[in-house]
Amino acid sequence: MQPESAVLLVVAAAALAFAVTFNPLSISRGALLLKGGTGLAASAAIAAVPTFDLVLLILLTLGVLHAAIDGRRAFAVRLRAPIVAVATLAVALVFAHAQGPDELQRFAAVGLVAGLAAAVGLMPYMHPLDPEEPMTSSPIPWIAFVGPVLAAVVVARAQQMLAPDAGGVFGGMLIGLGLLNIAWGSIAAWLTESEVAAWRYSFVADWGLVLCGFGLTLADGGRAALLILFSIVVGRLPLYVVSRQALRDKAVAQRPINFVVAGALAGSAPFVGFVARVLLLRAATQLYWPLALALALGMLLWLPGSLRLGRSLAVPRGRQAIGVALVLAVNVAAGLYPLPILLAARL
Amino acid sequence: MTVIAWQSAGPVAAAAIATGGALAAVRRFGSGPDGWRIMPPGSTPRLVLCVAGGLIVLWIAAAVTTGAGASLRFTVMVIAGFSGARVLASEDASVLLTATSMLALVVALASAFADGSGLWPYFGAAVIAAGAGWLPHRTARAT
């Protein structure tokens, strides 16, 4: 198992424990643990299996199981994205192993990026969202719980399967798609009507940074991608879990805690998102400075959406307040001293 | 797919693929809409898409269907492509589950590209293909 995937599995387990402990809604904690545990076990299997075809089979099984659990969206609607992802990744696998012109390897690169986007639920294949749907059957587990490990595995496998020339195409595709997701996600998180949809778009925007980090093929790019994934799983996801009751009640607040949460979501100092953004800009500057400029402009778009999401948390009380404090503390600690995370991932 | 599995991984893998596919087909025969569903009225956009897709596929096929292991590559690409296209064109759960079964079987075939996973992908794919048709597919209430 890659060290990077192992780190992401540990933080996913921590996020699951947080969701079970601090979920404000009156739902069965046992059911949440069972569904989350299944997702975690599938993520571990995805990271541990030796070949890419087994990764695809596990992904397919997980997609079918996720579509079969209770939810408001139709079974077919929920099953479609994982099937399209597996089909695209399987075709990419064929192209990667085909003997022929160089273009076939480039097709493989396109297929790998498109399959990853479809599996996680990013532009141009965002999973349909029903704001009233329970979190476990919504697209959120794909984008915030299973997706990080899957992305780390797909990127690592792509680096093994693709020739250097196609690897460049793969990186370019990731950066292009990343910029698209940054712009689309951050603007939609700001302007969309539904608060739940705004949270989902904020995940999409964060994933834009992740894709750019993976695409930059420099050490700092990989480090930035890992730290953004860390902030998604132990920052944005737990804060979304805590905000579920306030979202259901349509409650908002503008207390100091809401602005602190907005700062964490926007990736401001001293939270972990800030370190990741600095690393990403440094890598982009080394590679091609206009890209760093585009990324810097894109990062400014986080602010209005994050202020909105911070307000949507309302005023956390009791157990939720403890949960929010815990999330903020972990994100500050990782922001001030990210070296243990990077060393654990051998980056 | 059974023949391809026999060629690339032996009789046990072929038996797993055949069993999984047969069970999926039996289940599909007893569920989903009745009647002839191939090219019903209103299929013109799909027909145009097929022609345009065919031109691209012709070029790809010239590269994919030559050299060693061409039959395996061609089978995986065609079935994965068709399964994905079928999924995008349908809202019917039985159609999606059939595509899931086909996709599982063909991903197992794709394991022949890599060394190291042995017969496990074939057994796993057979279980997924056979079991997918029995999954409950309902739209439940929000909680």
Q: What is the pLDDT of residues A172-196, one digit of tens each?
A: 999 999 999 999 999 999 888 889 9
Please state whether the predicted TM-score (pTM) of the whole model is above 0.90. no
* Per-residue confidence band for A293, with pLDDT thresholds at 50, 70 and 90: very high
Chain B residues inside the 8 Å CB shell of A76: 90-93, 95-96, 137
| DSSP codes, A252-306 | ---SHHHHHHHHHHHT-TTSHHHHHHHHHHHHHHHH-HHHHHHHHHHHHTHHHHH
Q: Do B90 and A76 touch (CB under 8 A)?
A: yes
Taking one residue from A and the other from B, the number of pairs with CB-CB distance under 8 angstroms is: 150
pLDDT for residue B142: 43
A73 touches chain B (CB under 8 A): yes
Q: How far away is chain A from the Cα of B22, in angstroms, using its nearest Cα?
A: 19
Chain B residues inside the 8 Å CB shell of A27: 143
Nearest CA in chain B to A161: B114
pLDDT for residue A313: 87
pLDDT for residue A147: 93
A23 touches chain B (CB under 8 A): no
Q: Do A72 and B63 touch (CB under 8 A)?
A: no
Of A63, A72, A99, the CB nearest to B139: A72
What is the average pLDDT score of chain B? Answer: 79
Whether B141 shows a pLDDT value over 60: the answer reads: no
Residues A289-303, mean pLDDT to the nearest whole number: 91
A93 touches chain B (CB under 8 A): yes
Q: B29-71 pLDDT, tens per residue?
A: 777 666 656 666 666 777 777 787 777 777 777 777 777 778 8
Chain A residues inside the 8 Å CB shell of B102: none
Q: Is the distance from CB of A72 to CB of B142 less than 8 angstroms?
A: yes
Of B141 and A50, more confident: A50
Q: Is the distance from CB of A14 to CB of A236 less than 8 angstroms?
A: no
pLDDT for residue B89: 80
Tally of CB atoms within 10 A around A13: 16
Tally of CB atoms within 10 A around A309: 26
Q: Is the distance from CB of A137 to CB of A66 less than 8 angstroms?
A: yes
What is the average pLDDT score of chain A? Answer: 90
For the question of an ipTM over 0.90, the answer is no
Whether B143 shows a pLDDT value over 50: the answer reads: no
Q: Is the distance from CB of A112 to CB of A170 less than 8 angstroms?
A: yes
Residue type, A259: F
Radius of gyration of chain A (CA): 19
pLDDT for residue A299: 92
Residues 6+ positions from B32 with CB-CB distance below 8 Å: B92, B94, B95, B98
Whether A221 shows a pLDDT value over 60: the answer reads: yes
Q: A137-164 pLDDT, tens per residue?
A: 899 999 999 999 999 999 999 988 888 8
Q: How many CA atoms lie within 13 A of A280 on its CB side?
A: 34
Chain A residues inside the 8 Å CB shell of B76: 90-91, 93-94
Of B95, B121, B132, the CB nearest to A53: B121
Whether A6 shows a pLDDT value over 50: the answer reads: yes
The alpha helices in A142-163, defined as continuous H runs, are: 147-161
Residues A94-116, mean pLDDT to the nearest whole number: 85
Q: How far away is chain B from the Cα of A326, in angstroms, using its nearest Cα?
A: 27
Nearest CA in chain A to B82: A87
pLDDT for residue B35: 61
Whether B140 shows a pLDDT value over 50: the answer reads: no
Q: Is the distance from CB of A242 to CB of A324 less than 8 angstroms?
A: yes
Angle, helices A195-215 vs A289-300, to 10°: value is 170
- Tell me the percentage of chain A whose pLDDT exceeds 90: 59
Residues A30-36, mean pLDDT to the nearest whole number: 89
Residues A309-323, mean pLDDT to the nearest whole number: 88
- Mutant choice from A79, A103, A107, A244 vs B, greatest count of B C-beta within 10 A: A79
Q: Do B100 and A52 touch (CB under 8 A)?
A: no
Whether A55 shows a pLDDT value over 70: the answer reads: yes
Of B67, B92, B100, the CB nearest to A60: B100
Chain A residues inside the 8 Å CB shell of B114: 51-53
Whether A289 shows a pLDDT value over 80: the answer reads: yes
pLDDT for residue B79: 87
Can you tell me the distance from the alpha carbon of A155 to that of A138, in angstroms, rounded to the nearest whole number?
25
Q: How far away is chain A from the Cα of B40, in angstroms, using its nearest Cα?
A: 21
Can you tell me the distance from the alpha carbon of A62 to that of B30, in angstroms, rounded to the nearest whole number?
25
Q: Domain limits of chain B?
A: 2-36+52-132
- Here the tokens at position A115 are 């399959």
Residues A295-322, mean pLDDT to the nearest whole number: 90
Whether A10 shows a pLDDT value over 90: the answer reads: yes
Of B39 and B78, more confident: B78
| DSSP codes, B52-102 | HHHHHHHHHHHHHTSSTTHHHHHHHHHHHHHHHHHHHH---HHHHHHHHHH
Q: Do A83 and B138 touch (CB under 8 A)?
A: no
- Tell me the percentage of chain B whose pLDDT exceeds 90: 5
Nearest CA in chain B to A70: B140
Can you tell me the distance from the alpha carbon of A146 to that of A140, in angstroms, rounded to the nearest whole number?
9
Nearest CA in chain B to A101: B63
A129 touches chain B (CB under 8 A): no
Residues 6+ positions from A297 with CB-CB distance below 8 Å: none
Q: A37-47 pLDDT, tens per residue?
A: 999 999 999 99
Chain A residues inside the 8 Å CB shell of B66: 99-100
Chain B residues inside the 8 Å CB shell of A70: 140-141, 143
